[in-house]
Structure 1
Amino acid sequence: MAPPGLRLVQKVSSTRTFARLAPHVIPAMDRAVHRLTKGKVLVSAQMLPGVILTARGARSGLERRTPLACMPEEGTGTWLLIGSNFGRPGHPAWTGNLLAHPDAEINWRGKDIPVTARLLNSAERDEAWAAALKFWPPYAAYQARVDREIRLFRLERRRP
């Protein structure tokens, strides 16, 4: 059973108001604190583990840095990224970037790690989605609000 404080955060993060405000506030705060602490702190990681994803833009080819919640997969050295967009319509831009340019980099706990992203489909996606819902139940509310299937990516380390 989740601690009362965590349950409250999960309940608040499931609301439409949170979905409207969070995309404007949380990433900006994360970028600033991450830069000031030289990659050691992500404010949002106090609730969920987080990474800074650096991926090339799908159209521009320019590097884009995006703070994201992630789900580390214990004992595998991989991470799941959930393209929930806080339950807003439309896939987040970073998912299109990974589809176009799957080789990327994450900053995980202050270390830069080259990764390759793979969009999950079928049974593999179903299994990862079940794990994601157990990890952070508000993802179910996000999915219920949108007509699109939320994209899930597995990030695997690659040699630099």
Structure 2
Amino acid sequence: MSVERKTRGARVPPRWIVRSAWSVHRFLYRVTGGRLGLWRPRKKGWGALRLTTAGRRSGRPRSVILGYFEDGSDLVTLAMNGWGPGEPAWWLNLQADPDATVELVGVRRPVRAHAATGEERDRLWDRWREIDANLDEYAALRPSQTAVVVLTPR
């Protein structure tokens, strides 16, 4: 594969498009009462969950919809911030208070978050690679390492 083709595969849409897509997704979830917007992971694919954290400054509930896959009873996501610089607010909130709630299709459950490290991170990153062949190229667009976040049932 040529370098040109690899670079083209890792291009991210402009930030305003990414943010607009997030807004539309959240809006769709809200107006349908949660009937649309979340899905279970498909074979060799990811699902969508709704994570609610406590705001690290306000203490108020903050919700976001994230891609995930299942690793046993754990849910695994990436703190990628749309492949842009900086950490996403939800990850900063979880670092301040790791207890949160996730909503999956038809179920809500409390979780505790941690960043995968060492062998656990390598194993889970490899699983994401199976889902997205361009994962390493996208991650290279970020100035810092992308956290692999594990949400464990409480």
Please give the range of the TM-score, normalised by the shorter of the 2 chains.
0.7 to 0.9
Q: TM-score, normalised by structure 2?
A: 0.82
Distance (Å, rounded) in 2 between the aligned partners of 1:29 and 1:107: 18
How many pairs are equivalent? 145
Report whether the alignment pairs 1:32 with 2:27. Answer: yes
Q: 1:43/1:128 Cα in 2 relative to 1: closer, same or farther (>3 Å)?
A: closer
- 1:44 CA displacement: 8.6
Match of 2:112 in 1: 116
Moved more, 44-53 or 104-113: 44-53
Instruction: Kindly indicate whether the alpha-carbon contact (under 8 Å) linking 2:38 and 2:105 is maintained by their aligned counterparts in 1.
Output: no
Distance (Å, rounded) in 2 between the aligned partners of 1:124 and 1:114: 22
Task: State the secondary structure of the residue aligned to 2:35.
Answer: coil
Structure 2 residues without counterparts, runs of 5 or longer: 1-6
Structure 1 residues without counterparts, runs of 5 or longer: 1-10
Q: 1:43/1:105 Cα in 2 relative to 1: closer, same or farther (>3 Å)?
A: closer
Match of 2:93 in 1: 97
Normalized per residue, the structure richer in helix is: 1
Task: State the secondary structure of the residue aligned to 1:70.
Answer: strand
AA partner of residue 51 (structure 1): L
Instruction: Kindly indicate whether the alpha-carbon contact (under 8 Å) linking 2:38 and 2:50 is maintained by their aligned counterparts in 1.
Output: no
Match of 2:82 in 1: 86
Task: State the secondary structure of the residue aligned to 1:137.
Answer: coil
Distance (Å, rounded) in 2 between the aligned partners of 1:43 and 1:33: 10
Moved more, 110-119 or 50-59: 110-119
Q: TM-score, normalised by structure 1?
A: 0.80
Instruction: Kindly indicate whether the alpha-carbon contact (under 8 Å) linking 2:46 and 2:131 is maintained by their aligned counterparts in 1.
Output: no
Match of 1:67 in 2: 65
Match of 1:7 in 2: none
Residue identity over aligned pairs, in percent, reads 26
Q: Deviations over 1:84-143 (max 9, x none)?
A: 122211111111111111110011013211111111111111111111111222322221
Match of 2:134 in 1: 138
